[in-house]
Amino acid sequence: MYNFEYRQAQSVADAAKAVGADEEAKLLAGGMTLIPTLKQRLAKPSDLIDLGGIAELKGIKREGNAVVIGAMTRHVEVATSDVVKGAIPALSHLAEGIGDPQVRNRGTIGGSIANNDPAADYPAAVLGLNATVITNKRRIAADDFFKAMFETALAADEIVTAVSFPVPEKAGYAKFPNPASRYAVVGVLVARTGGAVRVAVTGAGPVVFRQKEMEAALGKSWSADAIAGVKQSAGGLNSDIHASAEYRAHLVTVMAKRAVAAAG
Amino acid sequence: MATVTLTVNGKSVTATVEPRTLLVQLLREQLALTGTHVGCDTSQCGACVVHVNGDSVKSCTMLAVQANGAQVTTIEGLATGDKLHPMQEAFRENHGLQCGFCTPGMVMSAVDFAKHHKSPTEQQIREWLEGNICRCTGYHNIVKAIKAGTEAMGRTA
Amino acid sequence: MSATGIGAPVRRKEDSRFLTGRGTYTDDINRPGQVHAFLLRSPHAHAELRRVDTTSAKAAPGVLAVFAGADMQVGGLPCGWLIHSKDGNPMAEPPHPVLAQGKVRHVGDPIAVVIAETRAQAKDAAELIVVDYQPLPAVVAGEDALKPGAPQLHEQAKGNLCYDWHLGDKQAVDAAFAKAAHVTRLDIVNNRLVANPMEPRAAIGEYDRASGEYTLYTTSQNPHVIRLLMGAFVLQLPEHKLRVVAPDVGGGFGSKIYHYAEEAIVTWAAPHVGRPIKWTAERGESFASDAQGRDHVTHAELALDKDGKFLALRVATIANLGAYLSTFSTAIPTYLYGTLLAGTYTTPAVYVEVKSAFTNTVPVDAYRGAGRPEACYVIERIVDTAARELKIDPAELRRRNFIPKDAYPYQTPVALTYDSGDYFTTLDMAMKAADYAGFAQRREAAAKRGKLRGIGIATYIEACGIAPSAVAGALGARAGLYETAELRVHPTGSVTVFTGTHSHGQGHETTFAQLVSDRLGLPLEMIDVVHGDTNKIPFGMGTYGSRSLPVGGSALVKAMDKVVNKGKKIAAHLLEAAEADIEFKDGKFSVAGTDRNVAFGQVAFAAYVPHNYPIEELEPGLDETAFYDPKNFTYPAGCHIAEIEIDRDTGDVAVVRFTAADDFGRIINPMIVEGQVHGGLAQGIGQALYENAVYSDDGQLVTGSFMDYCMPRADNLPSFDVATHATLCTHNPLGVKGCGEAGAIGAPAAIMNAVADALAPLGIGSLDMPATPERIWRAIAAKTMPQAA
């Protein structure tokens, strides 16, 4: 690790000011990706601004027909929250499958989506459930948030404060994990919310994406069989020693079917 | 440099660290608590698991400065005098360790597991251990030990 | 059986310290004034070093010294086994420099060392070293390295060939094939593995100016071997000035046998900086510098007669040795592989050819099993393939060819003489425990759930406790293969055992104490076992090849014999009886046929306080040392049965059941033995399904961390059903055979035979390890939807 300056932000405004004033500064949430990155000397921030002490960023609450999760809420809290389990069991199931218990005890939803790792689980939930990302500046629709591999719509001094998930009628998540890292090779979240169907795929491509053909098929008939014949194109998908693009494309259909089955 | 004050195994400690110092480095190199080990550099092996404010975490993936004000328990803080913690005793009785290197992290992870499960299934134990790699035991006896240790903790709780 | 003697599942003495965080591993040791070393390693697989400029690094904060290859002119790392090729020529043995000399040959090859006050400073400064690389083309596969026009690694190894070795009677094999009713052919790859003990390697070098003594603390399976190799060959330090300590070591599996550059570097540099120097590998460095395992490409042919009797086996293997010769690398694909190719069968003729190649990859050496898993895999895969081709049940085909129970000692056509065994019983035991008979129903039930279920058998044999020294020496070994034990009886009757073997998870402190408790009748609290320090232990060859109990345990028995014999003389004096009338049993020396006796402790006291003592005939003291050189290998054997289910949609394989029935000879501690089997099975299943060291064409290790190298986790494995059946080793005093490697030897073939069984109904032939989901999905897709694959 290269050396850096560290400080705990007292408020979101304080953090935004600090990170806005210095383009070499980085925000530290749960640190589950950032700290390993620093250990490998793949990043050299001048300052780390720790969001861990800001109480307003933590917590889960039901607001009307949405579940709002503070950015610094840990995966374990989403996985075990009665509010989430009651309203969006697919989301607690997804959170329960992120990393391992120790990662879930530190990692946060805000950190995960701001990082936008192509193999992370949460982007599938945000996109598939048509969530709204709330920042210190604005509300960003899921469709506008994830831009490219490790790139989001966030400005330099913009901080995710919460994510608001509309409560779906049905939702399910299924993933095929990388056998070594346990990140998603392919993860598919399917949801029907207010009559509209979304199918969000993580792991397969450089950034989470919607599988529109499956959405259309499920819109007509909500069943695993309805999408059995929908083939994901391998074009543009990721390829590595664990899974080629062709295999990932195949798994998109398999996982989508399983997600539908899980959604009931 | 930064100053951190935390409680480790019930004792208050204050240390001066570089911001880049990991919690595991503080424990091993400054506090001489070498029971917590480092087995990888990608946060996967779990040899470094300790409890921070009651939750199991990987001390190789947390900065020492992030533990300022925290309650930290390491493997050295588990036994009461010469009396092993029920989970330690279960590992001994079930031969849940061989070389002993992954053991501290494994035991600390298991103690956290036991807090959330009263009568666990083998599958629950195996899934919980996703973040703890053992190269010696094939996990067979670790799983047995955690089952027995969890049940013993339930009895004494 | 006593509660603490042979056969008792005694809970381990070493566990209290490991469970409370009080183990002392090398990186836990901090010497006064200690500084830290960091190695700059090559990012290229093959390159000339035009310039290495350490000027800026030397000036960096906290830096005490920087050394590159030009600064460290010492001997190269030696190879411990000289192999001769078919044509009688000695193998190519190119230099293996401690720090690169003009050229780097694999990613991770060390170029320079930075020594600084802190590890972070050393690492910071290493980034300031300027290296001008001239990259060269690289070659990573053994077959490719041997092709004309391949990039050449060493001047001393033309065509990258280390040796072209063979064993067996080629003419007899050719003749048998000419008259065979059936020939089965198989091409298989034994995938390269990374041992990955959970403790990364570490070393601390220290120099005492007052005494001129060097001390090396290191993560080694054999500290005396390191002292010999480093002292005599690399640094030219006499042994009486060099102490090597291997304290608690967190697993080895072979990878900590060898002498590594970092050990020599910290020892050599300690007097230069005048401070103790610690180096600890990061896991990424372990991947780039720990010797790796396996990596064979093999073509095999099995000739059978019309009744399914094996007539001959013909095997041609290319072994990848990596960029340099590691300590025992040359012996693994030869004397620990070719000699095992008879397996458990009466195959009368076997011929094997092995070409070993240098490549731009991390050196390859012994990894749990070492040569024997590769041999077992060849035999057991081809036997299963033959059974399928001939429509004979695979268990039945094996039975038809097993060495009969009454045929021991049995001379194989590939040099070994098996002393004892009973492969029929372990096969029967495993089949019964695995409910082999009920498999068809389980397969049907699985099919209803959309799963492909398969069952696979592997019967294996291994050769453990490599020996005798004279024979090994004649075959090229450059070291002895005996073991040493000292039994120091203290004046009040407690005992310290000093063993030249080394425990890094095997539980010697308990097992060896049980041997003493059993023989001397002492409680375990009175017995301590010391290992891992060349200043304490007379000598030793360490622990590898399941040798500790067969060889080290036998040495301990000899030392106990000497103690008891001397004790009888002392007791005879104390009891005023003839020595010939003294018996020793249950911790007492007694006069035969009487109730007159003295306890072991009284005899010990008399030996150290010789007031009433036969001082004219006998020296005082009760401290005996024994060396034991075995007459033969031991031959553990057994049967493993795997049952797997394949998810047709994803290709994912789940191991749903695993049964092992093993013959390890006499068992000292069944609890520890079962644990050894479990661990070996996990590594064997890991090889078959998960683990693979993958290099890109330009020599980068793609699987260079746990993010990509798939270590088996708890949820990848089932609970195991293990049992033992003993036929005793006939030539060592304990009748023991060794158990450390068995699991890793039988499991890969059992799993892959099960995979083949599951896929056979789809017409899918042999697949290579690891049987990853994509590999299986592609095989299924190619048969069921050809357009998809």
Q: Which of A129, A148, A166 is the last residue of a domain?
A: A166
Do residues C206 and C214 touch, judged by C-beta distance below 8 A? yes
Q: Which residues contact A144 (CB under 8 A, 6 or more apart)?
A: A153
CA–CA separation, A124 vs A210, rounded Å?
Answer: 9
pLDDT per residue as tens digits for the range C91-113: 999 999 999 999 999 999 999 99
CA–CA separation, C730 vs C419, rounded Å?
Answer: 6
pLDDT at site C584? 97
What is the number of alpha carbons within 13 Å of residue C125 lying toward its C-beta?
Answer: 30
H helices, E strands: number in chain C: 19, 28
Residues of chain C numbered 305-364 and touching chain B (CB < 8 Å): none
Q: Which residue in A10, C119, A183, C38 sits closest to B22, CA to CA?
A: C119
CA–CA separation, C731 vs C418, rounded Å?
Answer: 11
Domain B86-156 is of which CATH architecture?
Answer: Orthogonal Bundle (1.10)
C705: in domain: yes
Contact C707 A176 (CB under 8 A): no
- Which residues of A fall within a CB distance of 8 Å from C772? 179, 242
Is the pLDDT reported for residue C263 higher than 60?
yes
Do residues C731 and C232 touch, judged by C-beta distance below 8 A? no
Which tokens hold the place of B143?
A: 């799983």
On whether both C389 and C366 belong to a single domain, the answer is: yes
Which chains have 3+ CB pairs within 8 A of C?
A: A, B
What's the mean pLDDT when you consider all of chain C? 97
CA–CA separation, A51 vs C235, rounded Å?
Answer: 53
Q: Is the CB of residue B56 less than 8 Å away from at least one CB of chain C?
A: no
The average pLDDT across C443-462 equals 97
The average pLDDT across A131-145 equals 98
The average pLDDT across B77-90 equals 96
C473: in domain: no
Give the nearest partner residue to C702 out of A241, A247, A251, using CB atoms: A241
Contact A105 B56 (CB under 8 A): yes
CA–CA separation, B156 vs B80, rounded Å?
Answer: 14
pLDDT per residue as tens digits for the range A16-52: 999 988 889 999 999 999 999 999 999 999 999 999 9
On whether both C696 and C709 belong to a single domain, the answer is: yes
pLDDT at site C289? 98
pTM for this model (two decimals): 0.97
The SS3 call for residue A160 is strand
Task: Identify each DSSP E strand in C387-463 by its residue range.
Answer: 410-411, 417-418, 451-461
Do residues C423 and C402 touch, judged by C-beta distance below 8 A? yes
- Indicate if the alpha-carbon torsion angle A175, A180, A183, A184 is positive or negative: negative
- Which residues of C fall within a CB distance of 8 Å from B129? 713-715
- Which residues of A fall within a CB distance of 8 Å from C707? 180-181
Torsion of CA C170, C176, C178, C181, to 10 degrees: -150
Q: Which of A131, A151, A166 is the last residue of a domain?
A: A166
Which tokens hold the place of C201?
A: 């390697």
On whether both A145 and A176 belong to a single domain, the answer is: no
On whether both A66 and A186 belong to a single domain, the answer is: no
Do residues B37 and B21 touch, judged by C-beta distance below 8 A? no
CA–CA separation, C154 vs C161, rounded Å?
Answer: 10
On whether both C615 and C699 belong to a single domain, the answer is: no
The average pLDDT across C662-689 equals 98
Q: Is the CB of residue B141 less than 8 Å away from at least one CB of chain C?
A: yes
Q: Is the CB of residue B18 less than 8 Å away from at least one CB of chain C?
A: yes
On whether both C679 and C771 belong to a single domain, the answer is: yes
Interface pTM, i.e. ipTM: 0.98
Write out the residues of chain A at the interface with chain B, using a CB-CB cutoff of 8 A.
Answer: 1-6, 28, 31-32, 35-36, 38-40, 48, 50, 52, 76, 99-103, 105-106, 181-182
Domain region containing C109: 31-136+198-251+256-289
On whether both C421 and C329 belong to a single domain, the answer is: yes
pLDDT at site A62? 97
Which tokens hold the place of A207?
A: 């950034």
pLDDT per residue as tens digits for the range C459-497: 999 999 888 999 889 899 998 899 999 999 999 999 999
Do residues C646 and C776 touch, judged by C-beta distance below 8 A? yes
Residues of chain C numbered 21-50 and touching chain B (CB < 8 Å): 21-25, 27-28, 30
On whether both A100 and A181 belong to a single domain, the answer is: no
On whether both C225 and C273 belong to a single domain, the answer is: yes
H helices, E strands: number in chain B: 5, 5
pLDDT at site B157? 57
The SS3 call for residue C516 is helix
Contact C682 B137 (CB under 8 A): yes
The SS3 call for residue C290 is coil
C165: in domain: no
Q: Is the CB of residue C694 less than 8 Å away from at least one CB of chain A?
A: yes
Give the nearest partner residue to C707 out of A176, A180, A244, using CB atoms: A180
CA–CA separation, C466 vs C481, rounded Å?
Answer: 7
Q: Which of A166, A191, A206 is the last residue of a domain?
A: A166
On whether both C80 and C119 belong to a single domain, the answer is: yes
pLDDT per residue as tens digits for the range B104-128: 999 999 999 999 998 999 999 999 9
- Which residues of A fall within a CB distance of 8 Å from B62? 31, 35, 106
Give the nearest partner residue to A179 out of C690, C702, C788, using CB atoms: C690
- Which residues of B fall within a CB distance of 8 Å from A105? 55-57
Neighbour-count burial for B7-17, b at 16+ CB within 10 Å, e otherwise: bbbeeebebeb
pLDDT per residue as tens digits for the range A69-78: 999 999 999 9
Percent of chain A predicted with pLDDT > 70 = 100
**C103-104 and C47-53: which strand pairing?**
antiparallel
Question: Which one-letter DSSP state was computed for residue A74?
Answer: B
Q: Which residue in C362, C399, C324, C434 sits closest to C96, CA to CA?
A: C324
CA–CA separation, C58 vs C730, rounded Å?
Answer: 61
pLDDT per residue as tens digits for the range C162-190: 999 999 999 999 999 999 999 999 999 99
Contact B42 A36 (CB under 8 A): yes
Contact B135 C683 (CB under 8 A): yes
Contact B38 C27 (CB under 8 A): yes
On whether both C660 and C758 belong to a single domain, the answer is: yes
The pLDDT-based confidence of C785 (bands split at 50, 70, 90) is confident
Neighbour-count burial for C616-636, b at 16+ CB within 10 Å, e otherwise: eeeeeebbbbbbbebebbbbb
Element at C115 (helix H, strand E): strand C110-116
Count structural domains, chain A. 2
- Which residues of A fall within a CB distance of 8 Å from B66? 28, 31, 50, 52
Is the pLDDT reported for residue C787 higher than 80?
no
Which tokens hold the place of C24?
A: 């002392």
Largest CA distance in chain A: 56
CA–CA separation, C748 vs C372, rounded Å?
Answer: 12
CA–CA–CA angle C371, C372, C378 (5° rounding) = 95
Q: Is the CB of residue B118 less than 8 Å away from at least one CB of chain C?
A: no
CA–CA separation, C397 vs B115, rounded Å?
Answer: 52
Is the pLDDT reported for residue C2 higher than 90?
no
The nearest CA of chain A is from the CA of C452 a distance in Å of 17
On whether both C437 and C519 belong to a single domain, the answer is: no
On whether both A36 and A135 belong to a single domain, the answer is: yes
Helix segments in C233-371, DSSP class H: 261-273, 283-289
Do residues C196 and B135 touch, judged by C-beta distance below 8 A? yes
Q: Is the CB of residue B66 less than 8 Å away from at least one CB of chain A?
A: yes
Is the pLDDT reported for residue C788 higher than 70?
no
Which chains have 3+ CB pairs within 8 A of A?
A: B, C
The pLDDT-based confidence of C789 (bands split at 50, 70, 90) is very low
The pLDDT-based confidence of C786 (bands split at 50, 70, 90) is low
Is the pLDDT reported for residue C517 higher than 60?
yes
On whether both A155 and A175 belong to a single domain, the answer is: no
Q: Is the CB of residue C375 less than 8 Å away from at least one CB of chain B?
A: no
The average pLDDT across A163-184 equals 97
The pLDDT-based confidence of C407 (bands split at 50, 70, 90) is very high
Count the helix, strand and coil residues of chain C and give each as a percent rounded to the nearest 5. Answer: 30, 25, 45
CA–CA separation, C777 vs C789, rounded Å?
Answer: 9
C408: in domain: yes
- The secondary structure of C645-690 as a DSSP string is EEETTT--EEEEEEEEEEE-BS-S-HHHHHHHHHHHHHHHHIIIII
Is the pLDDT reported for residue C252 higher than 50?
yes
On whether both A74 and A152 belong to a single domain, the answer is: yes
Residues of chain C numbered 511-530 and touching chain A (CB < 8 Å): none
- Which residues of C fall within a CB distance of 8 Å from A251? 650
The average pLDDT across C712-732 equals 97
On whether both C217 and C264 belong to a single domain, the answer is: yes
Contact A31 B66 (CB under 8 A): yes
- Which residues of A fall within a CB distance of 8 Å from C709? 180
Give the nearest partner residue to C714 out of B29, B33, B129, using CB atoms: B129
Domain region containing A137: 5-166
Contact B19 A99 (CB under 8 A): no
User: How many CB pairs below 8 Å do chains A and C form together?
Assistant: 43
**All structural domains of chain B with their residue ranges:** 2-77, 86-156
C155: in domain: no
CA–CA separation, C110 vs C321, rounded Å?
Answer: 18
pLDDT at site C374? 98
On whether both C572 and C462 belong to a single domain, the answer is: no
* Closest residue in chain A to residue C285, using alpha carbons only: A40
* Closest residue in chain A to residue C704, using alpha carbons only: A180
* Closest residue in chain A to residue B51, using alpha carbons only: A102
pLDDT at site C759? 97
- Which residues of B fall within a CB distance of 8 Å from A2? 20
Q: Which residue in A1, A60, A59, A67 sits closest to A28, CA to CA?
A: A1
Residues of chain C numbered 207-236 and touching chain B (CB < 8 Å): none
Contact C650 A251 (CB under 8 A): yes
Which tokens hold the place of B116?
A: 């959330």
Give the nearest partner residue to A106 out of B62, B65, B128, using CB atoms: B62
C4: in domain: no
Q: In CATH, what number is assigned to the domain containing residue A234?
A: 3.30.390.50
Integer CA distances (angstroms), C491 to A233, C2, C530, C559, C572, in order:
81, 25, 18, 17, 18
Count structural domains, chain C. 3
pLDDT at site C1? 65
Which tokens hold the place of C133?
A: 């690389």
Give the nearest partner residue to C774 out of A3, A180, A243, using CB atoms: A243
Q: List beta partners, residue C100.
A: none
**Which one of B44, B73, B134 makes the best mutation probe of the A interface by having the most chain A beta carbons within 10 Å?**
B44
The average pLDDT across C277-283 equals 98
The nearest CA of chain A is from the CA of B70 a distance in Å of 12
- Which residues of C fall within a CB distance of 8 Å from A176? 650, 652, 773
Contact B19 A52 (CB under 8 A): no
On whether both C379 and C246 belong to a single domain, the answer is: no
Contact B131 A101 (CB under 8 A): yes
Give the nearest partner residue to A3 out of B20, B42, B57, using CB atoms: B20
Q: Taking the domain B2-77, which CATH number applies?
A: 3.10.20.30
